[in-house]
Amino acid sequence: MTMIEPSAIKALKRVVGKANVLTAPEDLLCYSYDSTFAEHLPDAVVQPKTTEEVADVLRIAHGDGIPVVPRGMASGLAAASVPFSGGIALSLTRMNRILEIDEANMTATAEAGVITAHLQDAVEARGLFYPPDPSSIRQSTIGGNVACNAGGPRCLKYGITGDYVLGLKTVLADGRVLQTGGKAIKNVTGYNLTQLFVGSEGTLGVITEVLVKLISRPEHVRTALAVYEDLDDASRSVNAILSAGIVPCTLEMMDDTTIETIEEYMRLGLPVGAAALLILESDGEDQDTVDREVEAMAAIARRHGASDVRVADSESARDELWRGRRSVGPSLARRAPNKLGEDISVPRSQIPEAVRRIKQIGHKYDLPIVVFGHAGDGNLHPNILFDKRDDEQWQRVEQAVGAIFEVAVELGGTLSGEHGVGVLKQPYLEHALGPVSIEMQRRIKDAWDPNHILNPGKVFPARDGH
Amino acid sequence: MEGQAVLTPNLTEQMYKCFACLACNTICPVGIKPADLALETRHVSEQIRPRWWKRPLFHGLFPDPKRLELGMLPLRWLERLGLRRLAERVGVTRLLPTQLRDMERMLPEVPERPLRVVLPEVTPSVGELRYRVGFFLGCAQSLLFADESAATVRVLARNGCEVVSPREVRCCGMPPLGYGERDMAVEMARWNIALFEDLDVDAIITDCATCGSTLKEYGQLLADDGDWAQRAEAFATKVRDISEFLAEIPVVKPRGRVEARVTYHDPCHLVRAQGVSQQPRDLLRLIEGLEFVEMEEADWCCGSAGTQLISHHKTSVSVLDHKMDNVEVTGAQYVASGCPGCQMQLSVGVKRRGLEMQVVHPIQLLDQAYRNGDE
């Protein structure tokens, strides 16, 4: 545990103001966790308002060797923003201004602490569209989304956060400010440092401003719900829809336990007892095309064994469906004190096999595991429910997690589709990427942050000496 | 985190910064109720570190309505002598610091006499007797908003209610609860429960959102209190907000008109604590000539939270400002809200902006419509 010298605290207060350096135990507690079960107290919470302030904070930290763990709204699911190293929890939520919406170039510039939904609302008001939509969208920040390269249901059609990042302003470990990228769409001048920071989880620099690409807002959207008595049928429907040349904006899947859990707490009228649900959505410029796509998807679903297909006929019916999907995480939290939400990705065709094996793992280790996720792109969220206070159970959880990752890799997939590595997936990283990749990535880290003060111990386990 | 937090003065202060608007309670799908935890922490803090001024204030003033009424006397004299209006006209109040000015603006014109001593204990129904109801007259309603509760009783009577309003009624308990004095709230609850038990009424009606939310929670407040648990539950199930009660009975459509544009602000203690939001709007829509305009974010807190304008002025005003932006663009002549706290706060907002707008209880507009029909 690093202690911060009183002189450093004083210096930090001079930079960001007294009210924005928190050291009271109850304040530190509030910054000791994210959306996983992991927790660790920082030594101080620092809340800068500008890039210059962030730079000054890092100069102090660099000089004194104080760890700096950047964080937005702590909605992360890999414990990437939990300050295990102690030191400074650098909260960027006060940097919450949308700096520019450039309609001519179709870009937006926002400070890192802007809530992603606020950015979306602002650009949509001008007929523009920022598609990435992690389920935490009303809570999570654009800076955090970039740092963890967040995904979401719509990414099937529109791509992930990183696909929209054109430029960044970041503060480096020693306090220098780096501007990368820009509004020019084509840019091959030098290495693509912008994309290096995407998904870097605060280990290479502190992202303070984000420049994103926008597209024009789809005017129409329609959603349908397909109910299945057999998971394989759901999976076959997904493949059939995509092979038919339809690119829906989302294709979400929920298994039986997920349906049960949501229904138990939300009472949305979901079909409890069904083996799986698909949420199918199409959007676009033209109402007829959207209608046709939804009808075609509904027909394919029926042909492939859906026992019931309902097309949402109103905006409120559609909202209900999504309210259910977005409430999966919190609803699960009612069932057990802790949940471990993974986000493995497998090739689409392997979804039924992956779900089957995950269920077997649940039986083997006697743990409730629910599975839902983005069926269209093979990104699944197996969630293990448990009680962390039970040591014996926790051991079984760890074994189950290892087994799930094993399944992902065996089926030709990967550990994390959209949550990131943080600390939770570290033990499995080398197995997934191989030693050469790990070694090269470590060298990148050493080059950018030689003293290892930026989010130390994240992504890669700390090496001797660091 | 379990077992890690220590009850420091800073932690207690954080709990007092909570406006108890309950937005967090309703949004949490896991079922955690942070606002309840804030109140709970205030109570615990008061057990460990009682604050010196609370006992004399709450134990001295609140248990006895007569003492509260006595406390209001100086203000009433100022009013009677025309000094308040004079001070405003001459501009003396402008010399006050903003916060004191806002506090002055909070207070409505104080009634000549508290309604508690004016209102008959039994008001007969107009026409056929259909219900016998109890009326719980809240402190703020009696002392500051007497006209409103007088209107409530008139409206009830017109809808076939015999209205029993016991003069020995005590404070509902919310102010002491808010300041961590739960024991005192329990005493008040017991008193009020016993009082209304003897009346044999179909429903217990209040026109104060805050009183209503507290009265409905008597069951929880006394849950571990032996015999009282059941009596409290029986009491609580009878409690209705005035708009809620009127929505349950075939309400008489007013013949008179009220030509005005009206918007409605949801009190936190009504919309979230009691789940009542449609009923007051329906009452307003019942009135011919009245143009109802929904404001944006009508169910967002106005920043009153009872006393936050005094204890946390800056935050309270910034919340109020946001609310007033939404109120102002409606262009309404009346902003209606069935909560004395909200009304005082909204009045501050109206006066700060110099708007030509009146803050009223929805029941006053309904009452006006009935009376216009009589002429």
Q: Pick from A26, A265, A331: which is nearest to B8 by CB?
A: A26
Strand partners of residue A70: A90
CB contacts, 8 Å: A33 with chain B: 1
CB contacts, 8 Å: A29 with chain B: 1, 4-5
Whether A26 sits inside 8 A of B29 (CB atoms) is no
Q: What is the mean pLDDT of residues A356-379?
A: 92
CB contacts, 8 Å: A266 with chain B: 29
Give the chain A residue nearest B1 (alpha carbons). A29
Interface test with B, best of A21, A26, A139 (most B CBs within 10 A): A26
What pLDDT score was predicted for residue B92? Answer: 67
What does the pLDDT look like over A167-218, one tens digit per residue? 999 999 999 999 999 998 888 889 999 999 999 999 999 999 999 999 999 9
Whether A26 sits inside 8 A of B11 (CB atoms) is yes
What are the pLDDT tens digits along chain B (375 aa)?
677 778 888 888 888 899 989 999 988 767 889 999 998 888 888 888 887 777 777 777 777 888 888 887 777 777 767 777 777 677 766 667 777 788 778 788 888 889 999 999 999 999 899 999 999 999 999 999 999 999 999 999 999 999 999 999 999 999 999 888 888 999 999 999 999 998 989 999 999 999 999 999 999 999 999 999 999 999 999 999 999 999 999 999 999 999 999 999 999 999 999 999 999 999 999 999 999 999 999 999 999 987 888 889 999 999 999 999 999 999 999 999 999 999 999 999 999 999 999 999 999 999 999 999 987
CA distance B108 to chain A (A): 36
Asked if B330 contacts B261 with a C-beta cutoff of 8 angstroms, the reply is yes
Q: Pick from B1, B6, B8: which is nearest to A32 by CB?
A: B1
| Chain centroid offset of residue B338 CA | 7
CA distance B328 to chain A (A): 22
Give the chain A residue nearest B12 (alpha carbons). A26
CA-CA distances (angstroms) from residue B354 to B105, B297, B322, B339?
12, 22, 16, 22
Average per-residue pLDDT for chain A: 92
Sign of CA dihedral B313, B314, B316, B317: positive
Whether A266 sits inside 8 A of B29 (CB atoms) is yes
Q: Pick from B1, B28, B30: which is nearest to A29 by CB?
A: B1
CB contacts, 8 Å: B28 with chain A: 330
| Chain centroid offset of residue A124 CA | 22
CA distance B293 to chain A (A): 22
What does the pLDDT look like over A110-146, one tens digit per residue? 999 999 999 999 999 999 999 999 988 999 999 999 9
Give the chain B residue nearest A28 (alpha carbons). B5
Whether A33 sits inside 8 A of B1 (CB atoms) is yes
What pLDDT score was predicted for residue B188? Answer: 95
Give the chain B residue nearest A39 (alpha carbons). B1
CB contacts, 8 Å: B11 with chain A: 24, 26
pTM for the predicted model, two decimal places: 0.84
CA distance A266 to chain B (A): 8
Q: Which two tokens stand for residue A336?
A: 């057990």
What pLDDT score was predicted for residue A1? Answer: 44
Q: What's the rounded Cα separation, in Å, for the pair A200 and A444?
A: 11
Whether A265 sits inside 8 A of B5 (CB atoms) is no
The ipTM of this complex is 0.75
Strand partners of residue A212: A108, A165
CA distance A37 to chain B (A): 10
Per cent of chain A over pLDDT 90 is: 72
Asked if A311 contacts A222 with a C-beta cutoff of 8 angstroms, the reply is yes
CA distance B7 to chain A (A): 8
Q: Which residue has the tokens 């807190």?
A: B301
Whether A26 sits inside 8 A of B1 (CB atoms) is no
